[in-house]
Amino acid sequence: MSSSELLVKIRDLQIDGIADETRSRIINNVDLDLHRGEVLGLIGESGAGKSTLGLAAMGFTRDGCEIVGGSVEFDGIDLVGATPDVRRQLLGKRIAYVAQSAAASFNPAHKIINQHAEAPLFHGMSSRAEAEADAIDLYSRLRLPNPDEIGFRYPHQVSGGQLQRAMTAMAMSCRPDLIIFDEPTTALDVTTQIEVLVAIREIVEQFQTAAIYITHDLAVVAQMADRVKVLLRGDEVEEADTRTMLQSPREEYTKSLWAVRSFERPQKPLAAKTATPVISLRNVTAAYGNNDPVVRDVSFDIHEGRTVAVVGESGSGKSTTARCITGLLPPRTGEIAFQNQVLPADYRNRSVEQLRQVQMIYQMADTALNPRKKIGEIIGRPVEFYLGLKGAEKRRRVEKLLEQIELEPSEFINRLPSELSGGQKQRIGIARALAAEPKFIICDEVTSALDQLVAEGILKLLTNLQEEMKLSYMLITHDLSTVKAIADEVVVMKDGRIVEAGPKDEMFTPPHHEYTDLLLSSVPEMDPDWLDELLKQRGADNLGDAAVSKM
């Protein structure tokens, strides 16, 4: 078979979403061509219709979606008009799917290998023994630990990164012509992500499988795809091969997406040794209940006007550290001082003035704002509570705050949070923190739930506010590009301990502690050759969890 043979041909596809009896267009006249053995990257922000388009290439629409026009052909077979029987003949056998959350997409009631063997058995491709032997072979190709044994476990007994590779193996079980990868690494930590990326790329190359790789992460798509298609709210923006797209994007929208990563505020000089830190943690150890401590002996200072980024993967104790500072979780030992005055451990024992000085901005803007209260009330409450302003004075202050976060007061003051976009909600969260006129703000993953362009806006806003009001930030994040953009100092945490700490510029130049090194080197870059070079440098067995377990 020649590699130029057309496998998927989508023409003029239109898909409607039906919610609450109103129709809206999700995919708007999109064409797509995919050749055998080729990997196409689909990128776009949330709501761009990437997943819908990816599933449509399988002839599948989710409940509430409907194909209203256009055609989808797979290897010459019309999938839109096909009977369910014809479609079922193809799914699993010639077209396979890898979902975002492997933990949710494996049936919890069956062993992994039984689910693996299901498709080949059902489609009459092989016997159970053959399918199981093949599964074990695929597991070892994907570098899963204990390939002989891992399939005989239940999904909940296997870690997320391993499950994601097991799901890739399952998609491979019938040696399909096409695999759809729907954000397969989005839910994973960076060090785990890199293992999965390497595994997927190798196996796709080995079997010459065509793939559609859906993601919102440009750096990931740069490593995985031969060609890239950019989507924006159901429309195609442009399509080109990966290198061309990265070097010279044609459209404005694509250019702005590319530019996001270049925002970087210069690092401020370290505070003088004699200066009083705004917040200092002194040998804090904390635990939930009588369990083992999740934060152990953590100490660092945050100075006026500086941003300290606390980075680490999930479970490293960074959010727990924040809970200790706010007083929600009194530390077992150690203390927290505000301008050299020790704060009471429990927030209930702190004075209103002490509470006012420490404010928090949350990750999920949806749950951070009371959905039944108007914006004016949400921002007005701390103004009234801390500063005692009432009536017109309060309103003026609220309007001032809204101006500071670059939202038009008259337009937003009477709205409910549900009438706002994600980025606007996050701005309201910032305004609520500012309303207390604090010295110190904890930003807990404030941009991780946002699209990149919106996130950049929030980071710029935070920077400007810091300049204006001499604020100190503690920035909790797992995203190193955010750290690069606005941090002055970096604290790296792992398993509740501080691995390394220092000024940002030093942290981004080697040499480091080996964990920091692994963490930094695992963050994908926009260079298409990055993954190859990394593999050359470190070797495939010295990445991710494998590398961590060696430490």
Partner 1 sequence: MPTLSLTIWAAAVIVGTAMLSFVGRPIGTRKSIARLRDMTVTGALGYSLLIVTIYQAAALYFGPGATFFKWAVHGVIGFGLAGYLFQQLGRHVGTKATKKLFRSMPVTAALGILLIITYAFVAIFADFIAPYGQAEIFKDANLLPGGNPEMGGNPAHILGTDQIGRDILSRLIYGAQNTVGIAFVTTLLAFFIGISLGFLAATIGGVLDQVLSRIVDMLMSIPQLIFALLLMTIATAWFGSEKGMVTLFMILIIAVLDSTRVFRLSRAVGMNIVVMDFFEAAKLRGEKLSYLIFSEITPNAFAPLLAEFGLRFCFVFLTIASLSFLGIGIQPPLADWGTMVRDLSQFIAYAPFPVVGPLTASLPLMAAGAIALLTVAVNFVVDWMLHRASGLKE
Partner 2 sequence: MNNVAMIISKRLGLGVLTMFMVSVIIFLAVNMLPGDFAQALLGQSATPEAVAAIRKDLGLDKPFYTRYFDWLVGVLQFDFGTSFAKANFSSYGGTSAAANFGTVADQIAPRFANTLFLAGVTAAIAVPLSLTIGVLAALYRYSIFDRIANISTLTSISSPEFFVAYVLILLLAVLSPVFPSLSNIHDGMDFATKLQKTMLPALTLTLVVTAHMMRMTRAAIINLLASPYIEMARLKGLSPFRIIVFHALPNALAPIINVIALNLAYLITGVVVVEVVFVYPGVGQLFVDSVKIRDIPVVQACCLVFAAAYISLNLLADVMSILSNPRLRLPK
Positions touching partner 1 (CB under 8 A) are 19-21, 81-84, 326-328, 347, 350, 352, 355, 358, 360, 362, 364, 367-373, 381-382, 385-386, 432, 436
Asked if 97 is part of the footprint of partner 2 (rule: CB under 8 A), the reply reads yes
Residue 89: name its binding partner from partner 2, partner 1, none (Cβ under 5 to 8 Å by kind).
partner 2
Q: Pick the piece of the chain touching partner 2 (CB under 8 A) from 1-9, 100-108, 300-308, 516-524.
A: 100-108
Q: Which of residues 313-342 bind partner 2 (CB under 8 A)?
A: none
Asked if 108 is part of the footprint of partner 2 (rule: CB under 8 A), the reply reads yes
* Least gap, CB of 279 to partner 1 (angstroms): 15
Q: Pick the piece of the chain touching partner 2 (CB under 8 A) from 114-122, 128-136, 207-215, 448-456.
A: 114-122
Give me the helix-helix angle, 452-469 and 252-259, nearest 10°: 50
Asked if 221 is part of the footprint of partner 2 (rule: CB under 8 A), the reply reads no
What is d(CA 104, CA 101) in angstroms, rounded to the nearest whole number?
Answer: 5
Q: Closer to partner 2 at the Cβ: 102 or 200?
A: 102
The residue type found at 477 is: T
Q: Closer to partner 2 at the Cβ: 60 or 139?
A: 60
Q: Closer to partner 2 at the Cβ: 62 or 513?
A: 62
Q: Which of residues 129-168 bind partner 2 (CB under 8 A)?
A: 154, 156-157
CA pseudo-torsion sign 475, 478, 482, 486: positive
What is d(CA 127, CA 136) in angstroms, rounded to the nearest whole number?
Answer: 14
Residue 352: name its binding partner from partner 1, partner 2, none (Cβ under 5 to 8 Å by kind).
partner 1
Asked if 181 is part of the footprint of partner 2 (rule: CB under 8 A), the reply reads no
Task: Give me the residue label for tokens 């839109």.
Answer: 80
* Least gap, CB of 141 to partner 2 (angstroms): 21
Which residue of 23, 110, 250, 470 would you call a contact of partner 2, by CB under 8 A? 110
E strands in 92-150: 95-98
* Least gap, CB of 99 to partner 2 (angstroms): 6
For 268-319, the DSSP string reads: PPPPPTTSPPSEEEEEEEE-STTS--SEEEEEEEE-TT-EEEEE--TTSSHH
Closest CA to 545 of 62, 188, 207: 188
The answer, yes or no, to whether the previous bond of 511 is cis (omega within 30 of 0) is yes
Q: Closer to partner 1 at the Cβ: 212 or 420?
A: 420
Asked if 414 is part of the footprint of partner 2 (rule: CB under 8 A), the reply reads no
Q: Pick the piece of the chain touching partner 2 (CB under 8 A) from 88-96, 213-221, 302-310, 457-465.
A: 88-96
Asked if 58 is part of the footprint of partner 2 (rule: CB under 8 A), the reply reads yes
CB atoms under 10 Å from CB of 343, counted, come to: 21
Asked if 91 is part of the footprint of partner 2 (rule: CB under 8 A), the reply reads yes
What is d(CA 318, CA 498) in angstroms, rounded to the nearest whole number?
Answer: 10
Site size for partner 2 (CB under 8 A): 29
The angle at the Cα of 515, spanning 509 to 521, to the nearest 5 degrees, equals 50
Q: Pick the piece of the chain touching partner 2 (CB under 8 A) from 104-112, 223-231, 420-428, 499-507.
A: 104-112
The residue type found at 346 is: D
What residues contact 70, with CB distance under 8 A and at least 6 apart? 10, 11, 12, 13, 14, 29, 30, 80
CA pseudo-torsion sign 230, 55, 447, 511: negative
Q: Closer to partner 2 at the Cβ: 171 or 498?
A: 171
Q: Pick the piece of the chain touching partner 2 (CB under 8 A) from 103-111, 258-266, 427-435, 535-543.
A: 103-111
What residues contact 326, with CB distance under 8 A and at least 6 apart? 347, 358, 360, 442
**What residues line the site for partner 2 (CB under 8 A)?**
58, 60, 62-63, 87-93, 96-97, 99, 101, 104-110, 118-119, 122-123, 154, 156-157
